[in-house]
Amino acid sequence: MSETRTAIVTGAARGIGRGVAQRLAADGLQVAVLDLDEAACADTVEAITSAGGTAIAVGANVADADSVEAAVERVASELGAPTVLINNAGIIRDNLLFKMTVDDWDAVMGVHLRGAFNMTKAVQKHMTEAKFGRIVNLSSTSALGNRGQANYSAAKAGIQGFTKTLAIELGKFGVTANAIAPGFIQTDMTAATAERIGVDFDDFIKFSAEQIPVQRVGQPEDIAHTASFLVSEGAGFVSGQVIYVAGGPKD
């Protein structure tokens, strides 16, 4: 590693984002732990700093361009130019199409697509100036279609097209862009899905694991491991890819 890199991980107060933030810090990066509520980032920051890493908590709404611009400038001044970006913040507003509201549609598009766009636009100038950048966007196996997720699957498929375009536009500046498409990962998000469909979370995990070739559900560490590879200095020739991390083949 030629220098200490600064990473921003969105939605890092919990779940996959927290796992990725902790892993990148363990890899030696300085990490901005960004989430809607700055106070909610404290546990992730504490986990990183108590393990000897460097992290700050940043409150921002990725769907809001002004909030994002201010957050990115704060990271640049407090930690240094962010050259690693993990667009992880996400929400679900699941429902069958006939019951899905325009608000359900807009909310999901706002966080996943507008959010990733806002963050990447704000960070790219730091990457292009540094002639180095690593962008990792969280897609999902739902990009291939999933009952009750017309909004979310469209957003996660959109993330894949966005990622490939970033790879094409930013490649000449030493910036790579890749997407990770997780399958079932055990987090509050999948717990909320179990609750919505009225299934006990442990039963939901057990049933889901039986459908997965490796016979277990994923953990945030599984995604963190893949993100660690994609942001590494040595991964500079891997760009525009979608890696399904789902315990089996998906496409």
Ligand X SMILES: NC(=O)c1ccc[n+]([C@@H]2O[C@H](COP(=O)([O-])OP(=O)(O)OC[C@H]3O[C@@H](n4cnc5c(N)ncnc54)[C@H](O)[C@@H]3O)[C@@H](O)[C@H]2O)c1
Q: Interface residues with ligand X (CB under 6 A)? A: 10-11, 13-17, 35-36, 61-63, 88-91, 111, 115, 138, 140, 182, 184-185, 187-190
Q: How far apart are the first and last CA of the chain?
A: 34
Q: Under the phi-then-psi rule, with left for phi > 0, alpha for psi from -120 to 50, and beta for the rest, what region is 114? A: alpha
Catalytic residue among 105, 117, 132, 152: 152
Minimum CB distance to ligand X smaller for 164 or for 250: 250
- How far apart CA 165 and CA 53 sit, in angstroms, is 33
**How many whole angstroms separate alpha carbon 150 and alpha carbon 77?**
40
User: Please, what is the minimum distance in Å from the beta carbon of residue 179 to ligand X?
Assistant: 10
Q: Which helix (H) or strand (E) covers residue 55, if one does?
A: strand 55-59
Q: Is 209 exposed, middle or buried (0-12, 13-18, 19+ CB in 10 A)?
A: middle
**Quick one: tokens of 89?**
């913040």
* Least Å from the CB of residue 205 to ligand X: 11
Structure letter (DSSP) for residue 149? B
Q: Considering the complex, what minimum distance in angstroms separates the CB of residue 166 from ligand X?
A: 16
How far does Cα 101 stand from its chain's mean position? Answer: 25
Nearer to ligand X, 91 or 177 (CB): 91
Residue 147 to residue 153: CA distance in whole angstroms? 9
Task: Specify whether 152 is catalytic.
Answer: yes
Nearest distance, CB of residue 241 and ligand X, angstroms: 16
Half-sphere exposure (CA, 13 Å, Cβ side) for 4?
Answer: 11
Catalytic positions, please?
A: 152
